[in-house]
């Protein structure tokens, strides 16, 4: 039974995403309790949650890696598609920092500010973990969920029978919107979802979606670290 679950294509693509979101829910719940003075602890503790979150998801991706047969490194040998994926990552980054709009009820996010740590080695540890998570772990985890799983699942529940790159207007709109709702900057998130979906349809490659996502997050990480605009993190 355990082996069958671990080999289930839905479980291997959904569970890392669920684990990642569960940590976010725990963090937000603790932050809300802290703000309401129901509990009392140093808010810096919440920053440390990123380490077990990143480690757990990375281990899950490694454990299930044989299941991700649709992620093909040979896709990068198509240099036009690779260049397009890199360019799309730059475009998403540009849109993201210029579409930092929140809805009326939303507050500007505080973001992840490593400067709260007074010890230099701790600060750099958190930066390394955060960048690694944003540039490597998150793109793989999210693209496996949103593009490999959900875009196809909304076409056919037996999603592995749906060819990578097959278009459906409903799944395109639904995933673009839901991808935006996952992020604090909803409108920027929707535009990113549209572009990532476009890369998926044009290249018919999950690997290129991951590359585009990684480039966007790498640019954003560099921008945040050099400007101190932590709200984007």
Report angle CA 187, 193, 195 to the nearest 5 degrees. 110
pTM over 0.85, yes/no: yes
Domain count, the chain: 1
pLDDT in tens, 100-131: 888 765 667 778 999 999 888 999 999 999 99
Question: DSSP string covering 35-96, please?
Answer: HTTSS---THHHHHTHHHHHHHHHHHHHHTGGG-TT--GGGGG-HHHHHHHHHHHHHHHHHH
Residue 58 domain boundaries:
2-232
pLDDT in tens, 159-215: 999 999 999 999 999 999 999 999 999 999 999 999 999 999 999 999 999 999 999
Task: Check whether 142 has a pLDDT greater than 60.
Answer: yes
What is the band of 90 on the pLDDT scale with cuts at 50, 70, 90? very high
Name the residue among 98, 26, 41, 86 with its Cα closest to residue 214.
86
Task: Check whether 1 has a pLDDT greater than 90.
Answer: no
pLDDT for 2 equals 55
pLDDT for 145 equals 98
Find the mean pLDDT for residues 133-147.
Answer: 98
pLDDT in tens, 41-80: 999 999 999 999 999 999 999 999 999 999 999 999 999 9
128 contacts: CB under 8 Å, gap ≥ 6? none
Rounded Cα distance, 61 and 13, in Å: 9
């Amino acid at each position: 039974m355990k082996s069958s679950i671990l080999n289930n294509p839905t479980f291997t693509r959904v569970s890392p995403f669920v684990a990642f979101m569960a940590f976010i829910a725990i963090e937000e719940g603790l932050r809300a309790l802290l703000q309401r003075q129901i509990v009392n602890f140093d808010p810096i503790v919440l920053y440390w949650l990123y380490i077990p979150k990143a480690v757990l998801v990375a281990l899950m991706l490694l454990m299930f890696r044989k299941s991700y047969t649709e992620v093909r490194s040979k896709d990068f040998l198509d240099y036009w598609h690779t260049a397009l994926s890199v360019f799309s990552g730059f475009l998403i980054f540009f849109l993201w920092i210029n579409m930092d709009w929140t809805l009326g009820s939303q507050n500007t996010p505080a973001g992840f500010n490593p400067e709260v740590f007074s010890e230099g080695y701790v600060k750099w540890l958190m930066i390394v973990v955060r960048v690694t998570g944003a540039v490597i772990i998150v793109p793989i985890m999210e693209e496996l969920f949103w593009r490999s799983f959900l875009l196809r699942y909304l076409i056919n529940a037996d999603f592995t029978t749906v060819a990578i790159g097959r278009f459906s207007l409903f799944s395109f709109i639904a995933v673009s919107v839901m991808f935006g709702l996952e992020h604090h900057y909803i409108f920027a998130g929707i535009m990113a979802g549209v572009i990532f979906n476009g890369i998926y349809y044009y290249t018919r490659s999950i690997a290129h979606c991951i590359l585009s996502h990684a480039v966007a997050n790498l640019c954003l990480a560099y921008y945040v670290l050099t400007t101190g605009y932590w709200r984007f993190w």
